[in-house]
Amino acid sequence: MQHVAYNISRAAGPGTVRTRLVINKSSLCQQAADVLRARIHAGALLAGARLDETGLAAELGISRTPLREALKILSAEGLVKIAPRRGCFIAELSLADLEEIFPIMAMLEGRVAFEATTKASPEDIDRLEALHQKLEKHAAAADIDRYYEVNYRFHDALQSLAGNRWLQHLIGDLRALLRLSRHRSLGLRGRLRESLAEHRALMKALRARKAAAAEELMRAHLMAQLVALRRMAAEEQGRQS
């Protein structure tokens, strides 16, 4: 079967993801779903945005029939919401969704930290330390975008060291869902400083090879993000009332 080819590139700034598309003529709806899913995961399609179905069909070089079938696939995955007579929208996570997702993420990433601590070589710890120093640098400069990027790389590095493909798969799926949230807790007053302190404690446990402590600290780190998101939601509600 022929396949779809698409290439995602990210420029220096946030929100500048471009996707080059080549759609072949077999399994059009599945291929279109693959392209759109990749765009959503890369952040090129923002949570809550209404999809221009006519424009997308033209861009992909397909009719609207396979496009609509593709959107049904993504709807079943929870990535888009189809509203009768209103159109199709990129799904957006509610606070209730986040309340359900973060405890699971905390459990999974905690296990990652445990396994990474037991398996990492001294050279691996050095590489984690190098990433941590970048976090220190970006936090000192109050550069949230770069801090966020390096934080993502740090968590990825821990997953690689843990070497547990099932954990990677499950965390990857949940991360994809979390990208549907427009809220970034690091923008909350004081959260960047708190996050850095949590990372410092985690690095200390990693260096000391205290796997159980690393697991508990990672769980606390994830749950602290949820607490920050609750605060953000409360502040937004206060501004709207």
Cβ 124 vs Cβ 78: under 8 Å: no
Q: pLDDT at position 5, please?
A: 45
Residue 211: per-residue pLDDT: 98
CATH number of this structure's domain 95-240: 1.20.120.530
User: How confident is the model at residue 237, as a pLDDT?
Assistant: 79
Per-residue model confidence (pLDDT) at position 1: 35
Per-residue model confidence as pLDDT tens digits over 76-96:
988 899 999 899 999 988 899
Q: Which of 49, 87, 42 is nearest to 67 (CA)?
A: 87
Neighbours of 170 (CB within 10 A): 16
Where do the structural domains in the chain lie, given as residue ranges?
A: 5-90, 95-240
pLDDT at 13 over 70: no
Instruction: Using pLDDT thresholds of 50, 70 and 90, give the confidence band for residue 12.
Output: very low
> What SS3 state is found at 8?
strand
Flag whether pLDDT at 9 surpasses 50.
Answer: no
Indicate the pTM of the whole model: 0.75
pLDDT band at 240, cuts 50/70/90?
Answer: confident
* pLDDT tens digits, 35-51: 998 888 777 888 888 99
How do residues 155-197 score in pLDDT, each as one tens digit? 999 999 999 999 999 998 888 788 777 567 888 899 999 999 9
Q: What CATH number was assigned to the domain covering residues 5-90?
A: 1.10.10.10
pLDDT tens digits, 111-130:
999 999 999 999 999 999 99
- The mean per-residue pLDDT over the stretch 203-227 comes to 98
> How high is the pLDDT of residue 82?
95
CA distances from 106 to 29, 149, 219, 220, 222 (A): 35, 19, 4, 7, 5
| Lookup: tokens for 37 | 């899913």
The percentage of residues in the chain with a pLDDT greater than 70, rounded to a whole number, is: 88
Q: Is the dihedral of CA 127, 176, 234, 89 positive or negative?
A: positive
